[in-house]
Structures are given as structure tokens and as C-alpha cells.
Chains A and B, each alone.
Chain A
Amino acid sequence: MSEVKENLRYSEEHEWAEAVEGKTVRVGITDHAQCLLGDIVFVETPEVGAGVYAGESMGSIESIKTVSELYSPVTGKVTRVNASLVDRPEQVNRDPYGEGWIVEIEVEGDLEAELGKLMTADRYRQIVD
């Protein structure tokens, strides 16, 4: 069974979002998602400064077998990307909620309102279990 972390928010596309500082959220894919994908070999991220939109594709994640879109859980601007994934994309498999984070996004609207549109851990757990 895959891990769902308590204090994060979740999208239907299996991304997680965590408020880190000010209006910035850190984003990655869930344990469930990395499990489904299998061995991840390439993460294509948006560039710093790029505008991203909730529910829309902002990049892709490739495993040995397949390609999957990376959706943004929130609307805003990319402020940081996890550069270590270039050489070590397998971090997403090993530690999807930690070292395997993918981007940080500065939310455009109200942070609470934006996160409020996403699922709680309890709700997300119901979907993946």
C-alpha cells in the first residue's frame, strides 16, 4: 500500500502540494503515482519563471516503460526546480515526498483558497486505497 502524508494537499492527477514559505508551495508526485510509473528515468520540468495553471500540464515524467504528463496542482509561477533530478530522477521513486520533490510554485491567487481546492490526505487516501 502506498504512503499518503498527512499534512499535504493532493490533486486528482496524483500530485502533492505543500505550503513552504509565503505564497510558495512545493510540488511533487505521490507515492502512489511513482509506484504506478515504475522506474523513473527522466523528469521534464518547466523553467523557472514559467506560468503554470492548476490541472494543466507543466512537464512530463518518463519511466522506462511510459511517459506521463506532469500536471500543476495550483496556478502561479515556477520559482525553483529540483535540479538534482536531472542526474538522479530515481529520487522520485525513492523519496517522492522528500528528495524527489519536483518544483516550487508561487501561487497567483490566495494561497489558502488555492490549496483548499485540493484534496486532504484523508480524501486522497480513499481514492488510492
Chain B
Amino acid sequence: MKRTPLFPYYAGYPAVRCIDFGGWELPVQFYGIQMEHDAVRGQAGLFDVSHMGEIWVTGQYAETFLQQLTTNDVSRLKPGQAQYTLMCVPEGGVVDDLLAYKIAPDQFLLVVNASNAEADFEWLNEHLIGDVVLEDRSERTALLALQGPLAARIMARVAADDVGELPPFHFRFDAEVCGRKAIVSRTGYTGEDGFEIYVDAGDAPHVWTGLLQAGEPDGLIPAGLGARDTLRFEARLPLYGQELSKRITPLEAGLGMFVKLDKTGGFIGREALARQKEEGLKRKLVGLEMVDRGIPRSHYPVFVQNRTVGEITTGTQSPTLKRRLGLALLDSEYAGLGTEVWVDIRGKRLKAVVVKTPFYKKSQPSREGEPS
């Protein structure tokens, strides 16, 4: 299995548990999901997400190329800005969801899901135009995510530049963290304030240790994939393979604001998505709260009377809200708030009701450009 440069450091935590996450040996928890989840909501948590893929796109035609490949409008980015976007197949399903960073007019950094990184590179490569050059720098790039309400305070102690001033979805290309060169962006996947920090793989242990030391007085602890999943779930941030796939379109997943059907030049999947929008969505991603006692989980079927009307994409007992919640892709006629549906939980049909999402919203003003 593949390991990140920080793998040797996991062993220092007696309660650490690693799992196979798409071929990567990664920690699902360092202490416990609840404790790590609470730390991120209340103070701060540090995630090793070095498994994510980093693909650099360079050339005079880089922007034109990305306009064609992605659903959001790359031309709106200035150097130093990033956006959440998606790549689709012509039928409208999703190849991957990603962050696109505009480094310079002729250079972009795409940050993609680890499990899709190879396929994404292939997909991009098949559609190359003009002078565009792709470079997969995933192996030599480590990615740390410092997330939580105290993240800015902690960063101020270790960053040479005032990265605390960065607005959401802005980044500094030439930042320095713990004395090492880094790209620092005001982004994350938890529904909290925070930063994502890209460093050379060789610098990762130094920066990881430095950040943990700097944040210790504020309650910073390392957090694993388990808490990352519950945090993003409460904030209704989609996970590829659950809320998104080749068979689910961004519109069905409720990500219409990241699909710019009218941008110049169009993009792969535009026609299918425009048609889907015009005809009306047949399925929608909604929030469910269990009325009966039971916890919904991925792929559990959802019923109304004896008809299957959809399935759960993600579900758990929300660590923040202590409610039994799920995201479900349902036939649109059952997607209205307050609709009663029945989740088949291992053979038992248990009642649930459609509720508003996101389940959790941080108290400060919401961040532009995040899926909602």
C-alpha cells in the first residue's frame, strides 16, 4: 500500500488505526473520531491529506483547456485565487471534483481525489490542446489541512506571511510555514475556517511537527479520515464515490452553482447538463433525519410504500448534533422538505423525514465558493 511521508509519525499515537483507503494506508483516527471531530469544531485539527493528487497544468492555452474540461468558470480566477469545480463526462456524470488554483496566467494547479488521480490525469491527457503540458507532482507534494476556529491563530505563530488575511478560496504561492516553502490556501473540507498547506514531501515531517507544537496550547490535535468524513458530511460537502460518481451529475448532487452552463466555449458535459436542467431533475440529493431509531449508511435503499425511491449516499450519527442523519439521492417527487420516507436498515424499514442541509453551518458568515 502507498504511504504518505508522515506515515512513520502515526505510530506515536497508541489509539491510531489505519485503513486501506483506495490503496493508501491512512489513519482513520489518531485518538477517536468523536474527539477529533470536536477538536475541529471547537479548536483545531491537523489532517495529513498528502494522498490527494496534485496535477500542474502549464501553457498559453492552459485556461482555455481547463474551461473545456471543468464546469466552473476558470476565467473568473485571478492569480492567487482558487475555485471548487468538477470534471464531467459528455453524459453529465462526474469524473472528479477538484480545486483549481490559478498560479499565473499560464499555470494552474489541480488538486484531485487520490482514488481518481490516475484516471484524472489520463482524462486530462486525452483532451490536451495547444501547448498545454501536464505534470503529476502528487508524489513529491505533501498536503496538510489545518482546520478549525483557532486555525488562523495557530498559523500566525508559524507562518512568515500574514496568511490569516487571506479571504476564503485565496492562496499565497510563496508562503513560508515553519521556515519551509509552502503554498497556503484558505480552503478546507470540514465546514470550518482553515488552511490547506502544500509543502515538498521532504518538508512534511518538519511542518507537521511544528504545527502540532505551535497549536498544542490551543488544543490542536491530529485528526484522521474518520473525522474528516463526519465533518464534511455535516457541512454537506460531497465525497466522490458517494454523493458524486460517473452516474450522478453535479446538478443532481445540488452543485449547480459550480456549473456555469453559459460560460464561453462550453465544456465537456454541458449539453447533457443543460438538457437535464431544462427537463427538470429526476433525482435530488437531500438530507434525511431518522424518526425511528436506526442509523442510515451508504447504499441503504429508501422506500415510500413498496417502491424504491432512492438510496443513502452517506449517513451516520452526527457527532456535533447527535442526530441520526443521512444524505440520500431521491426521486424528485420525494425530495420536498418534510416528506416521510422509509430507510431499509438491514431488513427493517425505519421512518425518516427530509430535512434542510447543510446539517451544520459555522456561526461566522458562510464562505463563498463552497458547495452548499
Contact with A along B7-33 (1 / 0, CB 8 A): 000000001010000000000110011
Residue contact A67 to B295, C-beta cutoff 8 Å: yes
Provide the main secondary structure of the chain B interface: mixed
Cβ of A62: which chain B residues have Cβ within 8 Å of it?
295, 317
Size of A's binding interface in residues, CB under 8 A = 13
B39 to A: closest C-beta gap in Å: 13
- By beta carbon, the residue of chain A nearest B229 is A65
Residue contact B346 to A60, C-beta cutoff 8 Å: yes
- Given A38-B29, A38-B226, A42-B317, A64–B34 Cβ distance below 8 Å? yes
Distance A45 CA – B230 CA, assembled complex (angstroms): 25
Size of B's binding interface in residues, CB under 8 A = 20
Cβ of B317: which chain A residues have Cβ within 8 Å of it?
41-42, 62, 64
Any A CB within 8 A of the CB of B164: no
Any A CB within 8 A of the CB of B307: no
Cβ of A67: which chain B residues have Cβ within 8 Å of it?
295, 297, 346
Residue contact B295 to A65, C-beta cutoff 8 Å: no
Residue contact B34 to A39, C-beta cutoff 8 Å: yes
Pick the contact of A65 from B293, B316, B346 — CB < 8 Å?
B316
B61 to A: closest C-beta gap in Å: 44
A25 to B: closest C-beta gap in Å: 26
Residue contact A64 to B33, C-beta cutoff 8 Å: yes
Cβ of A38: which chain B residues have Cβ within 8 Å of it?
17, 28-29, 32-33, 226
B86 to A: closest C-beta gap in Å: 27
Any A CB within 8 A of the CB of B319: yes
- Given A62-B317, A64-B319, A41–B32 Cβ distance below 8 Å? no
Cβ of B316: which chain A residues have Cβ within 8 Å of it?
41, 64-65
> A residues touching B (Cβ–Cβ < 8 Å)?
35-36, 38-39, 41-42, 44, 60, 62-65, 67
8 further interface pairs, Cβ-Cβ under 8 Å (given A39-B34, A65-B33, A65-B316): A38-B17, A39-B32, A41-B295, A41-B317, A42-B294, A64-B33, A64-B230, A64-B317
Q: Could you show 9 A-B contacts with beta carbons less than 8 Å apart?
A: A35-B15, A38-B28, A38-B226, A41-B295, A42-B293, A62-B295, A62-B317, A64-B226, A67-B297
> B residues touching A (Cβ–Cβ < 8 Å)?
15, 17, 28-29, 32-34, 37, 226, 229-230, 293-295, 297, 316-317, 319, 324, 346
